[in-house]
Amino acid sequence: MIIAIDGPAASGKGTLGKRLAAHFGLRHLDTGLLYRAVAHALVVKGAKLDDPTIAEAAARTLDVAQLDEAKLKARGMAEPASIVSAIPQVRAALVDLQRNFAAVAPGAVLDGRDIGTVILPDADVKIYVDATPQVRARRRATEFRAKGENVDEALILDDICRRDERDRSRTVAPLVPAKDAHVLDTSDLDVEAAFAAAVAIVEAARR
Ligand code: DC
């Protein structure tokens, strides 16, 4: 079984993806980490984030097994990841890697922005996870505070809105729900309720 999860920044799709994968015995790939890793490689090199040649080379040499989630999930990597993800050559360089990951038995859950629309259009189940920007900013702030970071929720909201705008308006693979996606609005749901709703969507699609 292949499950495609898409949604805007901090919508909870990563948490859902991880939990759905564990629940159904599938592998999980948070595809945002791929774009974050490309951005990180450019930052380390001191390269410009919109340099398509260096960015594509970084994307082509990515090793999924070597992704350092703690480092890549740092707050400062979100905006750079959004910038490199708008480069068509970067997106093209990461397509096969994602499809190959999904193709390995027993199947996988991939979460990102273009999984149901571009990467895995034939996925068995597609879920588009959404929540209001305010709710997403609150959740992100809570997450960072739990890690001991002193964050300003209003600034996080600004970051989220700017990133959403860029991710939705880019020319290649913009963030948009697939026509056959089940939209799951988690604005009024806690983690458990969102998970239960997602499991119900997958079970119904299986039947
Ligand atoms: O999900 P995330 O916040 O880790 O993603 C970081 C950035 O990567 C996001 O702003 C847009 C980009 N991204 C993308 O363009 N396509 C994906 N499938 C996943 C992430």
Q: Which two tokens stand for residue 22?
A: 């564990």
What was the pLDDT predicted at 94? 98
pLDDT in tens, 178-201: 999 999 999 999 999 999 999 999
The helix/strand/coil state of 155 is helix
User: Would you say the CB of residue 17 lies under 6 angstroms from ligand 1?
Assistant: no
Domain span at residue 53 reads 2-206
Strand 2-6 relative to strand 27-30: parallel, antiparallel, unpaired?
unpaired
DSSP 181: P
What is the distance between the alpha carbons of residues 172 and 102, in angstroms, rounded to a whole number? 21
Q: Is the CB of 36 under 6 A from ligand 1?
A: yes
Please report, for the domain that includes residue 13, its CATH number.
3.40.50.300
Can you tell me the distance from the alpha carbon of 142 to that of 151, in angstroms, rounded to the nearest whole number? 9
Number of domains observed in the structure of the chain: 1
Residue 106 C-beta-side C-alpha neighbours within 13 Å: 6
pTM for the structure as a whole: 0.95
163 Cβ below 6 A of ligand 1:
yes
Q: Ligand 1: which atom is nearest the Cα of residue 14? A: 1
